[in-house]
């Protein structure tokens, strides 16, 4: 039985607005490959998160999120045939009062020369957020001791726009601005 065409809207709704609400800065160990299948152009690389923090970006919604002592791991599954990698990341940390925080996100990296140089090593290499295509869709949870002002993060659709950067010593970071879909 065909669908009733009278239920299809005449036009798309107005595009949602993205409001920046917090910044994530994660210090990483250099990536290390764990699986590679050359016949399928497929590989899995692990990246340990050794430290990091989250800081509120002043925003019109007055939403806050701050955290520190972030650690975790990112599983990067690359498909060299299409030039993209999928992220599956787990991050753990504490809010300023000591409440536990867990962030899980899937994401996507579209490879380019700049990202390849940064991940391949080097010192003081930086890209622009507009230059890189690194996205994430974080889901946040807390333990029972979390501050009331952070609970909004459990019920919002979040989208991250990121980049990789190395500092003067060659240490690798990934950074995201995270937005609420309004």
142, 97 in Cβ contact below 8 A?
A: no
Q: For residue 9, is it within any domain?
A: no
Residue 113 has what pLDDT? 62
| Domain-located, residue 116 | yes
Tally of domains within the chain: 1
* pLDDT value at residue 125: 63
Of the candidates 12, 26, 60, the one whose C-alpha atom is nearest the C-alpha of residue 179 is: 60
**What local confidence, expressed as pLDDT, does residue 33 receive?**
86
What's the pLDDT score for residue 55? Answer: 99
Assess if residue 129 is contained within a domain: yes
Tokens of 82: 């299409």
Domain that holds residue 36: 15-181
- Specify the pLDDT at position 167: 87
pLDDT score at 46:
93
Q: Going by C-beta distance under 8 Å and a sequence separation of 6 or more, which residues neighbour residue 42?
A: 35, 36, 77, 78, 79, 80
Element (H, E) at 115: helix 113-120
- At 119 the pLDDT is 66
In a domain, 32, yes or no: yes
In this structure, what CATH number is given to the domain that contains residue 148? Answer: 2.40.160.20
Could you tell me if 145 and 98 are in contact, meaning their C-beta atoms sit under 8 angstroms apart?
A: yes
Q: Residue ranges of the chain with pLDDT lower than 70?
A: 1, 39-40, 112-128
**pLDDT on residue 27:** 98
Residue 132: predicted pLDDT: 74
**CB–CB of 166/1 below 8 Å?**
no
pTM for the whole thing? Answer: 0.90
pLDDT at residue number 29: 95
143 assigned to some structural domain: yes
Cα–Cα distance, 48 to 72 (Å, whole number): 6
Residue 147 in any domain: the answer is: yes
Helix (H, G, I), strand (E, B) or coil at 73: strand
Residue 110 gets which letter from DSSP?
E
Does 6 reside within a domain?
A: no
């Amino acid at each position: 039985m065909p669908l009733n065409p009278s239920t299809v809207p005449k036009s798309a709704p107005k595009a949602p607005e993205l409001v920046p609400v917090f910044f994530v800065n994660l210090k990483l160990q250099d990536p290390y490959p764990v699986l590679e299948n050359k016949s399928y152009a497929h590989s899995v690389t692990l990246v340990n998160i050794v430290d990091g923090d989250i800081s509120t970006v002043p925003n019109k919604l007055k939403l806050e999120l701050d955290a520190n002592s972030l650690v975790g791991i990112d599983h990067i599954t690359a498909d060299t045939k299409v030039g993209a990698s999928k992220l599956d990341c787990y991050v753990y940390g504490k809010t300023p009062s000591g409440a536990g925080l867990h962030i899980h996100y899937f994401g996507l990296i579209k490879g380019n020369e700049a990202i390849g140089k940064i991940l391949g090593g080097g010192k003081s290499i930086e890209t622009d957020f507009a230059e890189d295509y690194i996205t994430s869709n974080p889901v946040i949870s807390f333990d029972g001791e979390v501050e009331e002002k952070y609970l909004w993060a459990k019920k919002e659709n979040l989208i991250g726009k990121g980049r990789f950067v190395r500092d003067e010593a060659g240490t690798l970071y990934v950074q995201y601005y995270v937005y609420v879909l309004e």
